[in-house]
Amino acid sequence: MSSQTPDKGAAGGFAEMTDKLLKAGKLLSNIRDQDVDVGATPKKLVMRRDKVELFRYEPLAEQRVKTPVLLAYGLIGRYTMADLQEDRSLVRSLLSQGLDLWLVDWGQPNRTERWLTIDDYVDDYIHAAVERVCRETGHDRITLLGICEGGVFTTCYAALHPDKVKGLVLTITPIDFHADRDDPDTHHGFLNLWTRSLDSADIDRLVDTYGGLPGEFMSSVFSLMTPMRSLTKYNIDLIEVIDDKAKLMNFLRMEKWLADRPAHPGEAAKQWLEDLYQENRLVNGTFTLSGRKVDLRVISAPTLNVFALDDHIIPPTCSKALGPLIGTKDYTEIPLPGGHVGLFVSSKSQGRLSKGIAEWLAARD
């Protein structure tokens, strides 16, 4: 009898897997690309400048924070990470708490944006967006909400245009690009270490060849940072959820966001990698935009700094470094559990991030 038990177990497991795959096949056959919708929260186009677009989100609740909030994501990836799906969306959560939320969307840069610099993104595109938001709402100052590289852009803007910024909210934003050396977690800072190891001439050759940092190149870099996760997500993670439509859609939306990685404009990429990652100019006071030094001490707006405690891409130490450097005395930190992306899309973090931001803004409105 005992010799037959494994055979019965194997047969049962095979039948269970067959049923699961049949159900999965029916699910997948009915899913179209338009069903895997990311960034679907309703919004209205207000302004277009080159490929950059300014949107205003439609309200989902009575407005409780009067000062408009402009969201800026980075150039490495798309803003849709903050609006992945209805139940995992920082955008929807903030709208539900009564914010007047706006978005600057960088579009899909390619070789035609080869010569754009961070100067252009901060002093032209963000500035034009801020001016338009002020004109549309009747406010003379607004709040900036920056995510990752977008947080660096908004920090620079707040330092160069303090009269236009009422509040500054940063999430997973690097400030001191060398602070990972003091991070107690050894798995934090691999991206910083790798970038510092690059030869500047090789960075220049890469950008000159492609006209920027190809999105596929950056995707491979991030995949190599978590190699086992990258290798197993299709033959383990996907199999586990393939017969559950809700979980499968979660998986597909995340994959769609990961695949939608535009090229990073060339000259801006050189500044990002060489001036900031390698030379750490934002902290040592030598980073200049449009001929003006970016002095963090000039930032006078109340500032909220949110970072993820297990962020292996932007280590917490790199974000926390802002505190002693900033000019305002109204400075607040919110450390949250989770990783770089998990802070926005994890079911565990839903509500905590948006509630912390909304309450902080309401107290200063």
Average pLDDT estimate for 122-146: 98
Indicate the SS3 state at residue 80: helix
Q: Is the pTM of this model over 0.85?
A: yes
The Cβ-side half-sphere exposure at 33, using a 13 Å CA radius, reads: 4
Q: How far apart are CA 365 and CA 362, in angstroms?
A: 5
Q: What's the residue count for the chain?
A: 365
Q: Is the pLDDT of residue 17 over 60?
A: yes
Farthest-apart Cα atoms in the chain, separation: 84
Tell me if 197 sits within 8 A of 324, measured CB to CB.
no
Please name the amino acid found at residue 317.
Answer: T
From the candidates 134, 148, 156, 318, give the one annotated as an active-site residue.
Answer: 148
**Could you tell me the pLDDT band of residue 1, with boundaries at 50, 70 and 90?**
very low
Range of weakest confidence among 7-11, 106-110, 211-215, 314-318: 7-11
Q: Name which residue leads in pLDDT, 122 or 251.
A: 122
Q: Is the pLDDT of residue 356 over 50?
A: yes
Beta carbons within 10 angstroms of residue 172's beta carbon: 28
Q: How far apart are CA 251 and CA 36, in angstroms?
A: 10
Q: How far apart are CA 265 and CA 218, in angstroms?
A: 13
Q: Is the pLDDT of residue 13 over 80?
A: no
Rg (CA), the chain: 22
The predicted structure's pLDDT at residue 182? 81
Superfamily of domain 38-189+281-363: Alpha/Beta hydrolase fold, catalytic domain (3.40.50.1820)
Q: Name which residue leads in pLDDT, 154 or 352.
A: 154
Average pLDDT estimate for 340-360: 88
Q: Is the pLDDT of residue 183 over 50?
A: yes
Q: How far apart are CA 271 and CA 117, in angstroms?
A: 8
Among residues 78, 294, 311, 295, which one has the least CA distance to residue 174?
311
Q: Name which residue leads in pLDDT, 30 or 95.
A: 95
Residues 291-334 have pLDDT tens digits of 999 999 999 999 999 999 999 899 999 999 999 999 999 999 99
Q: Is the pLDDT of residue 5 over 60?
A: no
Range of weakest confidence among 108-122, 236-250, 263-277: 236-250
Percent above pLDDT 90 for the chain: 67
Range of weakest confidence among 14-23, 233-242, 330-339: 14-23
Highest mean pLDDT among 55-69, 215-229, 238-252: 55-69
The predicted structure's pLDDT at residue 124? 98
Average pLDDT estimate for 260-276: 95
Range of weakest confidence among 33-42, 121-130, 280-289, 326-335: 33-42
Q: How far is CA 256 from CA 39, 315, 323, in A?
A: 11, 25, 35
CA angle 82, 298, 188 (to 5 degrees): 45
156 is catalytic: no
The predicted structure's pLDDT at residue 246? 85
The predicted structure's pLDDT at residue 342? 87
